[in-house]
Amino acid sequence: MAATEYTIQQASELLGIPIQKLRRWDEQGVLVARRTAGGHRRYSRDLIDPLAALSPHAGVEDKTGELATIKRSLAEKRRIIQLLLESESRYRDLVETSHDLIWTTDAQGRFTYLNNAAHDILGLASKDLIGRCFFDFEADASHVSNRRFLATLKRHDEVKNYVTHLLTANGEDRWIGINARVVHDDDGAILAIRGTARDITEQHLAAQRVEHLALHDALTDLPNRHGLQRRIEFALQSSGVGALLFLDVDHFRYINDNFGHRTGDQLIIGIGSVLRDTMRGIDGELFRLGGDEFAIHLPEMLRREALAVAEKALAAIRRYRFQASADRVISNLSVSVGIALYPFHGNELPVLLSNADIAMYQAKDLGRNRHVLFDQSPDGLRSTHRRIHGAKTLRDALDDDRLVLFQQPVVRLDDRKIMHHEILVRIRDTEGNHILPAHFIELAESLGMIQEIDLRVIEKLLAFMRSAGLAGKKMRYFVNLSRVSISDPRWIRRFLALLKRSGVNPNQLVFEITETAAMSEIDVTLTFIRTLKDMGCRFALDDFGAGFSSFFYLKRFEVDYLKIDGSFIRDLASDEGSRIFVKALNDVARGLDKQVIAEWVETPGVLNLLVEMGIQYGQGYLFRPPQPLDQAIAQQVRTRHAG
């Protein structure tokens, strides 16, 4: 059987063309050869024989027309090749000047090409990286991240925005985002991988900083209450066992009253440091809950271990000497410790927290400077009775219709114009004083009475809007709802029926739920929000930033307003961390087309910073303190008549 291909020497002889020109034509794509495994050129007989037949060496005397056609064809090929070369040159210029790393690898992930950005991102010139791979620069020696990346790539043929941690050749930390795609051969086998990589170190560290600020106490840098709730909820959902200790500094008010709040802050920092040292070598975590309260979570520990840790903490605080002023050292410091065990003293977060708090107050009632394990012993009856008394107070307030609605304006910061109002609830006691929500909401949730309170607040607001002629106006009213309420299908049915028969424009109502509550049951929250939005109501995420989980979830919540937690706003003028955090939250929220409200605006300095950041709305004592709803409306009517 005759050979189907010619060598380059044979083709040269048949065509009468020098071998060097054939090589050049092959490289230019004019007369293309097949390469063997050894790199030798081979030309198809079907291509060479017709050309040889047209050659004068073959004895052809008059083939002018055919030769002219071939020449034109070759000229057209050369023109196309020149255009391709120019296009390639432009492409290469763009690639080599890009700040992003553009790379290709073989099937095993070894670099075969990198552009000039390689030096900035990996610390070596492109030529020095050929044959190496991303594995060589992985910060984690186990290469878990890169193995996960390759597994994902092989499974889906493409990876987008994959974030990994590298160390450059100079030992510098780099966080990079990688996009990659697999190239297959005709048989479907992996031929190569190509993609891009971008240095996202600055953005990644900023996001870490924001998350840290949200989950840690600014004063002591200890994990905060939201961090504790996360840990406990995870432990309860995992059916684990453990202990929760609440620690409250005894007579802390004395320090604040006699030496000032700055000295009080220094004492909290000192006690936090002492407790942090105490926890070394103990499998547990310390939290600051706010004010003079700390907590210790001891997973997988029960009564004996919890009591030992409590004793160790008490002894450490007793030994602590605090320099309150230049001439005054306080040496009689102590704490009261309450201990609750899960799931025995509560298999739900509100119940467990409440019982740890009760045990802590039992310790105070028994003389302070001691620990108490939650139980129903005679020594604990006083605190238990206080809880029972609180439940009776709530029940009586509901039965006697002593829930009172207050309102506080939401102001547009550009011109200080009142745009909306938030509805706040108080309980009027038997002596005519108003009890703030902080003193009864948590108890109401743990007792299962919060649903009735939420529904009663909405009923009162809707009735007031109708009687005051406010239904159909542009003013919106913000109303807080509990996570417990929106998780109860029977409550939701009653709530929706109440709205439908109220005659109030749903567009006037904005319902709020805290970020922490929203994140605790995301699917429930999403369903509730969609139901309200379909009716025409608006929705707000309250205390945003205080329960920070991830900006990713913010895209899933179809909320209209974000209310930035007041703990970040209050210290805005004096705390750089708060400024970074608030600006980041505002930028993300505005980018997602959410309207932003800053809570706890109390000073002109804070107001000016908020305006500079571009935050749209504010709420706080700088504009107006909360007022009883009927008084506030009467005052607005008098103001309009006076004008």
- Summarised one tens digit per residue, pLDDT across range 63-108 is 455 556 666 666 666 666 566 556 656 666 666 777 888 888 888 8
- Cis previous bond, 489, omega within 30: no
Mean pLDDT of 369-375: 89
In 3-state terms, what secondary structure has residue 42?
Answer: strand
> Would strands 41-44 and 5-7 be described as parallel, antiparallel, or unpaired?
antiparallel
Residues 637-640: contacts with CB under 8 Å, at least 24 apart: none
User: Which pLDDT belongs to residue 382?
Assistant: 56
CA distance 103 to 113: 5
For the chain, counts of helices (H) and of strands (E):
25, 25
What pLDDT score does 313 carry?
96
pLDDT at 621: 92
Q: Are strands 617-618 and 285-290 parallel, antiparallel or unpaired?
A: unpaired
Residue 3, pLDDT > 90, answer no
Take residue 182 and report the two structure tokens written for it.
Answer: 């697999």
What's the CATH number of domain 5-91, 3.20.20.70, 1.10.1660.10, 3.50.50.60, 3.30.870.10?
Answer: 1.10.1660.10
> Do 592 and 378 form a contact (C-beta atoms < 8 A)?
no
Half-sphere exposure of 592 (CA within 13 A, CB side): 19
CA distance to 118, 123, 143, 589, per residue, from 128 (Å): 10, 10, 22, 44
Question: CATH: 3.40.50.1100, 3.30.460.20, 3.30.450.20, 1.10.150.250. Which one for 98-199?
Answer: 3.30.450.20
Compute CA 461 distance to the chain's CA centroid, rounded to the nearest angstrom. 34
Residue 241: predicted pLDDT: 93
pLDDT value for 308: 95
Cα 288 from Cα 581, distance rounded (Å): 19
Residue 553 pLDDT greater than 90, yes or no: no
Mean pLDDT of 440-460: 86
Separation CA 263–CA 246 (nearest Å): 23
Domain limits of the chain?
5-91, 98-199, 208-375, 394-642
Higher pLDDT, 488 or 145: 488
Amino acid 363 reads A
Over the chain, what is the mean pLDDT? 83
Contact call for residues 431 and 399 (beta carbons, < 8 A): no
| Gap between the Cα atoms of 510 and 538, Å rounded | 4
How many CB atoms are located within 10 Å of the residue 191 CB? 13
CATH class of 208-375: alpha beta
User: So what's the architecture of 394-642 in CATH?
Assistant: Alpha-Beta Barrel (3.20)
pLDDT, tens digit (0-9, with 9 covering 90-100), for 353-368: 988 988 888 888 777 8
- Of the candidates 234, 227, 347, the one whose C-alpha atom is nearest the C-alpha of residue 290 is 227
For residues 7, 9, 12 and 15, what is the CA-based torsion angle, rounded to 10 degrees? -50
Structural tokens at position 376: 């129903």
pLDDT at 549: 46
Least confident span in 253-267, 350-364, 414-428, 460-474? 253-267
Cβ(537)–Cβ(507) below 8 Å: yes
Q: Do domains 5-91 and 98-199 have the same CATH topology?
A: no
Q: What are phi and psi of 560, to 5 degrees?
A: -95, -30
Q: What is the pLDDT of residues 294-351, one digit of tens each?
A: 999 999 999 999 999 999 999 999 999 988 887 778 878 899 999 999 998 888 888 8
Compute how many other C-beta atoms are within 10 angstroms of the C-beta atom of residue 17. 15
CB 602 within 8 Å of CB 243: no
Nearest by Cα to 218 from 553, 585, 552, 569: 569
Query: Which residue carries 């160790």 as its tokens?
Result: 312
Q: Where are the beta strands (DSSP E) in 252-393?
A: 285-290, 293-299, 322-325, 328-330, 335-342, 371-373
